[in-house]
Amino acid sequence: MFTASRNRAPRPRRSPTPSGGAPPRRDSSAPPSRSPSPSSPGSKPLYLCSPFADAALVKGNFKTIVMLPKYCDIMEWVAVNIFDFYTNLNEFYGVIAERCTQHTCPTMSAGPSLNYVWTHQGGKQAMLPAPTYIDYVMTSIQNLIDDENVFPTKSSTFTLMSKSQTSLIDHPGPTDQAFHPSFPATVRTIYRQLLRVFAHIYHAHYPQILHLRSEPHFNSLFAHFLAFGREYELLEVRDIKGEPNAPVGVGLLWERWKEKGILEG
Ligand SMILES: [Zn+2]
The single-letter DSSP state of residue 83 is H
13 or 62: which carries more pLDDT confidence?
A: 62
Question: If you measure from the C-alpha of residue 67 to the centroid of ligand 1, how many angstroms do you get, rounded to a whole number?
Answer: 33
Mean pLDDT computed over every residue of the chain: 81
CA of 107 to the centre of ligand 1 (A): 8
pLDDT at 23: 47
Of the candidate ranges 43-57, 215-229, 238-252, the one whose mean pLDDT is the lowest:
43-57
DSSP code at position 117: -
How far does the centroid of ligand 1 lie from the alpha carbon of residue 189, in Å?
21
pLDDT tens digits along 93-146: 999 999 999 999 999 999 999 999 999 989 999 999 999 999 999 999 999 999
- Give residue 53's pLDDT: 86
| Portion of the chain with pLDDT greater than 90, in percent | 62
Contact 186, 20 (CB under 8 A): no
Which pLDDT value is given to residue 61?
Answer: 83
- Write out the binding residues for Zn(2+): 100, 105, 200, 205
The residue among 20 and 67 whose pLDDT is bigger is: 67
Question: Which has the higher per-residue pLDDT, 19 or 186?
Answer: 186
144-203 residue pLDDT tens: 999 999 998 865 444 333 334 455 555 544 444 588 999 999 999 999 999 999 999 999
> Measured between alpha carbons, how far is residue 83 from residues 9, 118, 248 in Å?
13, 22, 24
Ligand 1 centroid vs 197 CA: distance in angstroms?
9
State in words which class domain 73-151+179-260 has. Answer: mainly alpha
pLDDT for the residue numbered 1: 43
254 has a pLDDT exceeding 70: yes
Among 243, 209, 224, 261, smallest CA distance to 45 is for: 209
- In this prediction, residue 43 has a pLDDT band, given cuts at 50, 70 and 90, of confident
Distance 18 CA to ligand 1 centre (A): 22
User: If you average pLDDT over residues 47-64, what whole number do you get?
Assistant: 85
Exposed, middle or buried by CB within 10 Å (0-12, 13-18, 19+), for 14? exposed
Q: Which pLDDT score, from 0 to 100, does residue 185 have? A: 96
Query: 95 near 25, Cβ under 8 Å?
Result: yes
Return the domain boundaries, the chain: 73-151+179-260
What Å distances lie between residue 3 and 82, 138, 176, CA to CA? 12, 21, 22
Q: Report pTM.
A: 0.79
pLDDT of residue 177: 55
Cα of 131 from ligand 1 centre, angstroms: 6
117 Cα to the center of ligand 1, angstroms: 14
Query: Is 114 in contact with 45 (CB distance < 8 Å)?
Result: no
